[in-house]
Chains A and B, each alone.
Chain A
Amino acid sequence: MVRTEHDIVSQVQSAKTDSEAADALIRQYMGFIRSETVKFLHTAPENGHEDELSIAMLAFYEAILAYEKSRGAFLPYAARAIKNQLIDHYRTEKHHGNVISLHTPLGGEEDGGELLDTIPDTVDHAGDYVVRTASQREIQEFSEKLAQFGLTFSDVADNCPRQERTFAACRRVLDFARTQPELLKRVEDTGKLPMGELSAGSGTDKKTMERHRKYLVAILLAFTNGYEIIRGHLCQVGPKRGGDEA
């Protein structure tokens, strides 16, 4: 099947809003992304440059989000976006200065092992595994709960307030809701925000809440029963609030 530029444009347009379409498009253009990365690295990404490939993929995704049909063809635009992002990445990495890879071969020998091997392994691998499996299970559960209300993490991330002021307003909603377990329960049961009560209790504008409804549902759900690990990760939310009250 002959792909034309027109097809790409429509694919990009649908990928802007649909994360699955975006994933599909990125998989489809993996070769392109890889070749652009190689052009920048002058070596295969597999030779210790996997991060650069990931950055290039992110750049491709950014290009999808930012692309405008009226500004020319997509692929040249994406190629430029990838190159710019890689340059940016290279510059920020340079700040880290004298960092050597843990995978540096020891003593210049080919099979003498790597630097990584010389560091004593203090990590409790078994415990780590348990924790990770547990958090995976919990996140999976959380994800399913969100899916019941037609939400994905991608949606939530897209809906997350980016302005500090708006974020603080959403935080007030959360702080208030945590003092009202019955409100959290209603959110958990219905997936709907009790706008009136939350707005009256937190002083946040209803419009702001409506605009960030998906995010608020997700973050309120995280504070219902059963998501200990996620809540543990959000330790910053709790203590700060406690500090405010003290």
Chain B
Amino acid sequence: MNYLVMEVHPAYAVVLDEEGRFLKAANLRYQVGDTVRDIVELRRPKEKRPALWKPLSGVAGLAACLCIVFFGYYQPNFTPYGALRIQINPDVELTLSRTDRVLELEGLNADGRVLIEGYDYGGKDREDVTEELVERAIDMGYLSGGETVSITVTSADADWQAREEQAAREDLEERYGETIVIQIGPTDEKPPVTEVVIPVTPPEPEPTPEPPPEQVDPPAAPDDTDDRPDSGGATGYQDTDYGPDADGITDYEDTDYGPYSDGVTDYEDRDDGDDQDDDDDDGNHDDDDDDGDDDEDWNDDD
């Protein structure tokens, strides 16, 4: 490639290459009008692209700071993480942050509301508040020696919950352990599980057992009702507990499941060849079945 020297400067020459580029090259004692062959071309500094991240970096930095403040300071300190309930007789609940800050204090019964009235929990942690509340309770006469304080911690975080319970208990025991009893879990005032008592009547005599549900006749058979004169009369439907014909006896006890099971599953009734106890109507004959289909006769083995 030949270059035509167009202009000379002390440090460089402007040359024109054969394709029409104007270039700057080292001026190796060139003169205007020379045609030269090997040039040492000027290396231009790399053009800097305007840094797009620069204006954004401030925003990103700010966002990062906010994230740090939020997740590192605000969230552990100021968002509820669990609740601690103290039951003496006054019943109060402390809402705690992850770092044990007391965020809220609530009286769950009248005594509890009296106990916390005028009490400032701002900025205190769980340890201070529980101790001060117990002290207050003692001062106000709700708690005297030998009585029980029960502490319940609830949180979605089981580990945290266990730690808190342990810590709260240790703190209180350290201070009041000689005078009062600290108990983890709710007080025994209420039984933990509500029992429902169902009156049980003696079971009906065996000959007319409650039919198991799987042997109920298909309701599609219109003639298979108990109120027809030719019905088998053994379906037990007349023994309804509902409506005007209720006999006042619930037949729940005749279930085959659960603690009240009588031990007699009626399953064997199905194919034992003995229709005596069978609930279906084929104590009568199949030709009673005038609806033309055999569907309800599937368990009839004769």
Taking CB atoms and an 8 Å cut-off, the chain A residues in 144-168 that contact chain B are: 152-154, 156-158, 160-162, 167
Question: Counting CB contacts under 8 A, is B140 at the interface?
Answer: no
Is there an interface contact between B16 and A234, defined as CB atoms closer than 8 Å? yes
Q: Contact check: which of B23, B33, B45 meets A157 at CB < 8 Å?
A: B23
Nearest-Cβ distance from residue A66 to partner chain B, whole angstroms: 4
How far, in whole Å, are A61 and B44 apart by their CA atoms in the complex?
Answer: 10
Is there an interface contact between B14 and A26, defined as CB atoms closer than 8 Å? no
How far, in whole Å, are A23 and B45 apart by their CA atoms in the complex?
Answer: 18
Is there an interface contact between B29 and A157, defined as CB atoms closer than 8 Å? no
Is there an interface contact between B18 and A234, defined as CB atoms closer than 8 Å? yes
Nearest-Cβ distance from residue B42 to partner chain A, whole angstroms: 6
Q: Across the two chains, which residue of chain A brings its CB closest to B34?
A: A132
Question: Counting CB contacts under 8 A, is B191 at the interface?
Answer: no
Question: Counting CB contacts under 8 A, is B114 at the interface?
Answer: no
How far, in whole Å, are A119 and B141 apart by their CA atoms in the complex?
Answer: 125
Question: Counting CB contacts under 8 A, is A233 at the interface?
Answer: yes
Residues of A within 8 A of B85 (CB): none
Question: Counting CB contacts under 8 A, is A198 at the interface?
Answer: no
Q: Contact check: which of B4, B11, B21, B25 meets A23 at CB < 8 Å?
A: B11
Question: Counting CB contacts under 8 A, is B54 at the interface?
Answer: no
How far, in whole Å, are A142 and B32 apart by their CA atoms in the complex?
Answer: 12
How far, in whole Å, are A58 and B24 apart by their CA atoms in the complex?
Answer: 9
Question: Counting CB contacts under 8 A, is B27 at the interface?
Answer: yes
Q: A57-B27, A230-B4 are in contact. Are A62 and B10 (CB under 8 A)?
A: no
Question: Counting CB contacts under 8 A, is A237 at the interface?
Answer: yes
Taking CB atoms and an 8 Å cut-off, the chain A residues in 27-86 that contact chain B are: 27, 30, 50-51, 54-55, 57-58, 60-62, 65-66
How far, in whole Å, are A230 and B3 apart by their CA atoms in the complex?
Answer: 11
Is there an interface contact between B4 and A135, defined as CB atoms closer than 8 Å? yes
Q: A58-B26, A135-B4 are in contact. Are A153 and B40 (CB under 8 A)?
A: no
Nearest-Cβ distance from residue B16 to partner chain A, whole angstroms: 7
Nearest-Cβ distance from residue B104 to partner chain A, whole angstroms: 54
Question: Counting CB contacts under 8 A, is B22 at the interface?
Answer: yes
Taking CB atoms and an 8 Å cut-off, the chain B residues in 18-70 that contact chain A are: 18-29, 31-35, 40, 42-45
Nearest-Cβ distance from residue A32 to partner chain B, whole angstroms: 13
Residues of B within 8 A of A142 (CB): 6
Is there an interface contact between A58 and B40, defined as CB atoms closer than 8 Å? yes
Residues of B within 8 A of A143 (CB): 6-7
Residues of B within 8 A of A134 (CB): 33
Nearest-Cβ distance from residue B245 to partner chain A, whole angstroms: 95
Nearest-Cβ distance from residue A236 to partner chain B, whole angstroms: 4
Q: How large is the interface on A (under 10, 10 to 19, 20 to 34, 35 or more residues)?
A: 35 or more
Is there an interface contact between A154 and B29, defined as CB atoms closer than 8 Å? no
Is there an interface contact between A55 and B24, defined as CB atoms closer than 8 Å? no
Is there an interface contact between B20 and A234, defined as CB atoms closer than 8 Å? yes
How far, in whole Å, are A22 and B19 apart by their CA atoms in the complex?
Answer: 28
Nearest-Cβ distance from residue A237 to partner chain B, whole angstroms: 5
Between A54, A61, A222, the greatest number of chain B beta carbons within 10 A of the residue's beta carbon is seen for A54
Is there an interface contact between B26 and A157, defined as CB atoms closer than 8 Å? no
Question: Counting CB contacts under 8 A, is A171 at the interface?
Answer: yes
Is there an interface contact between B10 and A57, defined as CB atoms closer than 8 Å? yes
Nearest-Cβ distance from residue B229 to partner chain A, whole angstroms: 102
Is there an interface contact between B23 and A160, defined as CB atoms closer than 8 Å? yes
How far, in whole Å, are A177 and B18 apart by their CA atoms in the complex?
Answer: 18
Residues of B within 8 A of A140 (CB): 32
Render B159-196 as a binary contact track against A, CB cut-off 8 A, 1 for contact: 00000000000000000000000000000000000000
Is there an interface contact between B11 and A157, defined as CB atoms closer than 8 Å? no
Question: Counting CB contacts under 8 A, is B124 at the interface?
Answer: no
Residues of B within 8 A of A171 (CB): 19-20
For the complex of A and B, list the 4 residue pairs with the smallest distance between their C-beta atoms, beginning with the closest. A66-B45, A136-B33, A153-B7, A236-B18
17 examples of A-B residue contacts, CB within 8 angstroms: A23-B9, A50-B29, A54-B27, A58-B11, A58-B25, A60-B11, A62-B43, A134-B33, A136-B32, A160-B21, A160-B22, A215-B22, A230-B16, A233-B2, A233-B4, A233-B16, A237-B19
A interface list, Cβ under 8 A from B: 19, 22-23, 26-27, 30, 50-51, 54-55, 57-58, 60-62, 65-66, 89, 132-136, 139-140, 142-143, 152-154, 156-158, 160-162, 167, 171, 174, 215, 218-219, 222, 229-230, 233-237
- What would 19 more interface pairs be, CB under 8 Å, given A61-B42, A62-B42, A143-B6? A19-B9, A23-B10, A26-B9, A26-B10, A30-B10, A51-B26, A51-B28, A61-B11, A65-B42, A132-B33, A136-B31, A136-B32, A139-B4, A143-B7, A154-B14, A160-B21, A229-B4, A234-B19, A234-B20
